[in-house]
Chains A and B, each alone.
Chain A
Amino acid sequence: MAFLNKDQIDFIRNDLKKRTLSRSFLFNEWVDHVCCDVETMMNRGLSFEDAYGQISRERSDIDISTAHRDVQQFLNHRYVGIKKLLLFAFLLFAASWIINLLGIGSWIGLVAFIILGTVYLRIAIDFLRKRHIRKGNTWLSVLAGLSFVGTLSGILLIFLSRNFGFSTRGHGVDLTVFGWFFFSLLCLIYYMGEFKSAIEPVEIRKMRWLGCLSGFNLLLAAVSIATFPLYHLVKNYLFFLILFILGFDLLVLVILLLTRSMKNTLAVSLILGSFMIVFIHSHFRTKLPGGKPKLYELTLQVSPDPSWSSDRIYISMYYENFADRPITLPLMKMDDNLFGITMPSYAYRGYLFYGIATDSTGAVEYFRSASSIDSVLLKIPNKKIYQLQ
């Protein structure tokens, strides 16, 4: 049996590289196929030069181009639906912030996130179906499933909280960020696996880049999660973190577009999902029509008190389980003893009053010493008048 030596194989590889699609994922199989053909000819008595010359004349270079196109076509077709869904979700998401006709902006935004969740679910199902191809696919499917659950349940909680006064204790935010974290982890594992099994230098470079991108996203998601328990320490820096993440996502999207890498469904899902999730928790949303919350008026009527000659009073409140972290807000005088403040529907829901005073620093002290008022549960959006005796 005649076998080609390394030089002969290199010669064939270099010659085919010059003439055919060397960047095709089928290229290595094409090289092996041609080498096998040459070896068969050599076993019939031909020299390497004659055998390769004959194969070159007989085997059309169109073969690999046709095969590449056919394989690419059905692989792309498998994910064409996901890509269309992603694009649709992102367009809806953008529309939900720009257009807010009849106050339906948040509904459009909800639909955008439901579609994003559906994409995660579709990816989870796809990995589950391919579990026999690679053992790790089951775990990737679990991670995609967790992303789906986190994103969908989180966005539903946020929607219910912002529009219907549902008390979520901020868990909507936690769940969406956890969804992003799991999807970043999935992408990191997947692209590192692809990097290890890649053979072509172009493919190796691409998978390394996508792996690094996923790893960095995972780091950003982990840092975002770390801000939950450390909120009071880092709250002044959150704006910069959010700004960085949004800027990074936009930059990566541009790079993916310029390098024609939008066909990497996982990477595109990761970046679009990350942008959408972080954006809804940013202050930028309030600058856009769709991000402006509904406002409700809180009115307090106080008994005449000679010490309250000011045009404003201050109310000190704490959020449910965080009695040690009160905030103090001013209420403007509306009429004789009537004071009011306009609040976003969601911002102060679930807060408890526990002090009112004529200056911001005295609010806590004032009512702590007053036994008649302990605490009153503030139920926005109900407009209430509290008679303080």
Chain B
Amino acid sequence: MIPRELIKGTLKYMVLHLLRTLPKMYGYEITQVLDEKSSGRIKLTFAALYPVLHKLEADGLLRTETENVNNRIRKYYSLTPKGKKESDSRMSELREYIDLMKNLFY
């Protein structure tokens, strides 16, 4: 399992990156995709994911739409144009940081 602190610090990047690749996603879907892509090493709780989603929405990086799916209300998140730009710039920052970490430790 990946330590909580590391996940917490990079969750925003993960969400922005996922939404850059898919047009829209709902909260549970994000947890499942991250779980699958990390082979079960990143397991997000409701309390960890939703504040991040709502903060990104409040910052204007995400927009939401509500749909009635299978008899229940589902909220979908997608990137705004500002969110797309932010995602691109944050990803290049993250890559640079990862490279730096690699150089530091290996």
Contact = CB atoms under 8 A, between A and B. Distances in A.
A357 interface: no
Nearest to A64: B46
B51 A70 contact: yes
A35 B27 contact: no
B46 A4 contact: no
A67 B82 contact: no
A67 B60 contact: no
Interface in A115-171: 129-130, 132-133
A116 B55 CA distance: 27
B46 A36 contact: no
Interface in B44-65: 45-47, 50-51, 54-55, 57-58, 60, 63
A22 to B, nearest CB: 14
A244 interface: no
A67 B51 contact: yes
Contacts of A35: 70, 72
A95 to B, nearest CB: 34
A199 B66 contact: yes
B60 A6 contact: no
A31 B72 contact: yes
A176 to B, nearest CB: 32
A36 B28 contact: yes
A319 to B, nearest CB: 50
Nearest to A25: B54
A66 B71 contact: no
B81 interface: yes
Nearest to A71: B54
B75 A32 contact: yes
Contact of A133 (B26, B60, B74): B60
Contacts of B2: none
A325 B60 CA distance: 56
A6 B71 CA distance: 6
Contact of A78 (B26, B28, B50, B58): B58
B80 interface: yes
B63 A9 contact: no
Contacts of A26: 50
A132 B50 contact: no
Nearest to B51: A70
Contacts of A4: 70-72
B51 A71 contact: yes
A294 interface: no
A110 to B, nearest CB: 34
Nearest to A36: B28
A70 B80 CA distance: 23
Contact of B58 (A3, A32, A62, A75): A75
B100 interface: no
Nearest to A13: B72
Q: Which 8 A-B pairs have the closest CB atoms?
A: A70-B51, A36-B28, A66-B47, A63-B46, A132-B80, A28-B73, A67-B50, A67-B47
5 contacts: A32-B69, A59-B46, A71-B55, A74-B51, A78-B58
